[in-house]
Amino acid sequence: MVETVLSAVGLVIVLLVVIMTVKTVRIVPQARARNVERLGRYRKTLEPGMNVVIPFIDRVKPIIDLREQVVSFTGQRVITEDNLVVSIDTVLFFQVTDPRAADYEIVNYIQAIEQLTATMLRSVIGAMDLEQTLTSRDKINTMLRGVLDDASGKWGIRVTRVEIRAIDPPQTVKDAMEKQMRAEREKRAAILNAEGVRQSQILTAEGEKQSAILRAEGDKQSQILRAEGQAQAIENVFTSIHQNDPDPKLLAYQYLQALPQLAQGTGNTVWMIPSELTTALKSLSGAFDASAGKPGDPPGAADLRRLLPEPRPAVAEPADGGPAQLAGPGSENGQPGPVTT
């Protein structure tokens, strides 16, 4: 019986030692903190590691996380300066820097930060129109972070960053913005198309200009070469004529060879013959009046008479010294018309 009582007492003592040890030694993880109250009054804040408290006298409060935390607030409806209701999603980054203030200065600092964020959003967005709200996110983030950091400083909280995740305007505004963006894209496309057409026309005009210049240069060189060839040919003919010293009979023969070519033109009824040709024709007719082989003919006269066509026109010199007339095409009764010199 005595042994049983002793065993029970020993067991109670061991149990009390274990309970006292658990109540006395408290281990706090890294980047955490716990506040201690002694007889209902704040005593100290436990640091990370092993800490000793007085059991049944000191009360250890829940763990406070000292790491940077992220909380998001979605669907906060805010009215802009131009009376449009937009829905804003906000992401807030904060960190507890003073565990005592975070535990004793505010009941629920997460809820307090959410309400403060909504209030600051209404204040900041209410001073901007919709266009400024959509294009000034960095400005809104900076203003919100500054206001929230100042307001939450007494709670032992430091707001490190505020981000506007989404701004959702009304559906009617979305439709209008989509039409505007479509019009802007079509405008840019039309401008780019016009620029392309303009550049293409400029390049085409430049090409045509270069082509015309090259053609003109080619025509110029061609005309120069043609003129040089004609000059060379005339020079050769002129030199040959002077070297051979042709007599008037040969010149008259050349005139007679050219007369049928003059007659080939339509409407040529009157031919103007130079007076020098009359003298040459007189000499030629005097040389060829006799038959072939007449005494006194120059060498080759008979062969020349055979080559010449039968003389149809008659050259007559008027008595009054007027211009000589030569029968030509276009005269009456089927006879050649007069040719005046």
**Which region, left, alpha or beta, applies to residue 45 given φ > 0 means left and ψ of -120 to 50 means alpha?**
beta
Question: What mean pLDDT is predicted for residues 84-101?
Answer: 90
Contact assessment for residue 267 and residue 277, using Cβ atoms and an 8 Å cutoff: no
Total number of domains constituting the chain:
3
pTM above 0.75, yes or no: no
256 and 320 assigned to the same domain: yes
Percent of residues, the chain, with pLDDT higher than 90: 15
Each residue's pLDDT tens digit, 14-72? 888 788 877 888 889 999 999 999 988 999 999 898 888 888 888 999 999 999 999 88
Handedness of CA 110, 116, 120, 126 (dihedral sign): positive
Using alpha carbons, select from 323, 290, 325 the residue that is nearest to residue 304: 290
pLDDT score of 265: 63
pLDDT score of 327: 42
**Residue 194 pLDDT class (50, 70, 90 cuts):** very high
**Is 149 a member of any domain?**
yes
**Angstrom distance (rounded) from CA 296 to CA 253:** 20
**Is 241 a member of any domain?**
no
Domain boundary pick from 34, 65, 96: 65
Q: Which amino acid is at 218?
A: G
Structural domain boundaries, residue 336 = 248-340
**Is 194 a member of any domain?**
no
Each residue's pLDDT tens digit, 93-149? 999 999 999 989 888 888 888 888 888 888 888 888 888 888 888 888 888 888 888
**Residue 270 pLDDT class (50, 70, 90 cuts):** low
Q: Which of 33-37, 155-159, 266-270, 300-304 has the lowest mean pLDDT?
A: 300-304
Q: Which amino acid is at 203?
A: L
**Residue 267 pLDDT class (50, 70, 90 cuts):** low
**Residue with the larger pLDDT of the pair 234 and 249:** 234
**Angstrom distance (rounded) from CA 130 to CA 143:** 17
In Å, what is the CA distance from 325 to each residue of 150, 227, 260, 263?
A: 128, 38, 16, 15
Q: How many residues does the chain have?
A: 341
Look-up of token digits 């995740």? 165
pLDDT score of 274: 59
Mean pLDDT of the chain: 77
Question: Domain containing 154 — which CATH number?
Answer: 3.30.479.30
pLDDT score of 307: 45
Q: Which residues contact 119 (CB under 8 A, 6 or more apart)?
A: none
